[in-house]
Amino acid sequence: MRQIDLDGLRLFALTDCAPAPAECAYSFPDAALADRPEVAARWFGEGCFRTRFGPFLLRSGGGDVLVDCGLGPGDVGYFPDLRGDLPAALAAAGSSLAAIADVVFTHLHVDHVGWAPHLQHARFHVAAAEWAHWSGLGAAAGLPHHTEAVARCVAPLAAAGRLATLASDAEPVPGLRLLAATGHTPGHHAVLVGGRVLIAGDAWHNPAQIAVPAWCHRADMDKPEAMATRTRLAAMARDRGWIVAAGHFTDENAFGRIAAGPQGLAFAPLSA
């Protein structure tokens, strides 16, 4: 488990579960890997996409906060062999399901909302545009495994008055700010922590997309918008010196920085 200290605030990169490696041709169907062979070789070894479903935990004296909450304990038909183990990951970081005071959703896909029903003491926060999309369109809002997860895990929170909807740039929790990062979903947002760490949600699924923003993951709902978001966020992270925290990057790459190189921007993982 990777972690960084932010002047008394501890940020942990958790792993709820990790699916088996997938062929790049499946996960990134439009990516012309041959155009950037050095990037493909660095990040897509053996032509495979390796990932994790990784919430982030922030611990401070003000209460424990999760950004996203994983796939959940199962059974999720779209991922029939996966079972999340967030309780164990939280315990290793000194926390628990019962200790989570707030959850901030970057977006409402199935692998980001699964443990929500089990966080009995938490308040939940999501961008208003994201909730409007999933709650307003029903089955037309997205693929069935996502709409089912919203109905099962998120809609009951809204009905119980436990889901707050927020505008871009709002602070769901003091020190955390929502940054619009649309494209992957209509209301997708990144979360800026303390003005220093960008929790990117699914703006990037793999570090290769920092070098080549046009390599879209198959789950990006609006690919041109997702490309523009990746380009904008990468430039902001480089210019402002932000650490990037990405929940789908493998554990050893969970935290890093973006720097300019001879062929454009590149991701540099933080050393352990």
Average confidence score pLDDT of the chain: 96
Beta strands 100-104; 123-127: pairing state: parallel
- H or E stretch covering 269: strand 264-269
Are 112 and 69 in contact, with CB atoms under 8 Å apart? Answer: yes
Global confidence as pTM: 0.97
For a pLDDT cut of 90, what percent of the chain falls above it? Answer: 92
* pLDDT tens, position by position, 68-114: 999 999 889 899 989 999 999 999 999 999 999 999 999 999 999 99
* pLDDT in the model for residue 272: 54
Backbone angles phi, psi at 221, to 5 degrees: -80, -35
* Both tokens assigned to 36: 């950037």
* pLDDT tens, position by position, 178-227: 999 999 999 999 999 999 999 999 999 999 999 999 999 999 999 999 99
* pLDDT in the model for residue 4: 96
Q: 271: pLDDT confidence band, cut at 50, 70 and 90? A: confident
> How many Å from the N-terminal Cα to the C-terminal Cα in the chain?
10
For the cut 90, the answer to whether the pLDDT of residue 8 exceeds it is: no
- Among 32, 50, 44, 51, smallest CA distance to 208 is for 44
* pLDDT in the model for residue 74: 86
What domain range includes position 196?
2-269
Query: CB within 8 A of 146, min separation 6: which ones?
Result: 108, 109, 110, 134
Task: Give the CATH number of the domain where residue 165 resides.
Answer: 3.60.15.10
Give the chain's domain count.
1
* pLDDT tens, position by position, 222-268: 999 999 999 999 999 999 999 999 999 999 999 999 999 888 999 99
* pLDDT tens, position by position, 15-65: 999 999 999 999 999 999 999 999 999 999 999 999 999 999 999 877 899
- Among 11, 29, 9, 4, smallest CA distance to 218 is for 29
Exposed/middle/buried for residue 169 (C-beta within 10 Å: 0-12, 13-18, 19+): exposed
> How many whole angstroms separate alpha carbon 110 and alpha carbon 104?
15
**Strand boundaries in 33-181, DSSP class E:** 48-49, 56-59, 64-67, 100-104, 123-127, 163-166, 176-180
For the cut 90, the answer to whether the pLDDT of residue 177 exceeds it is: yes
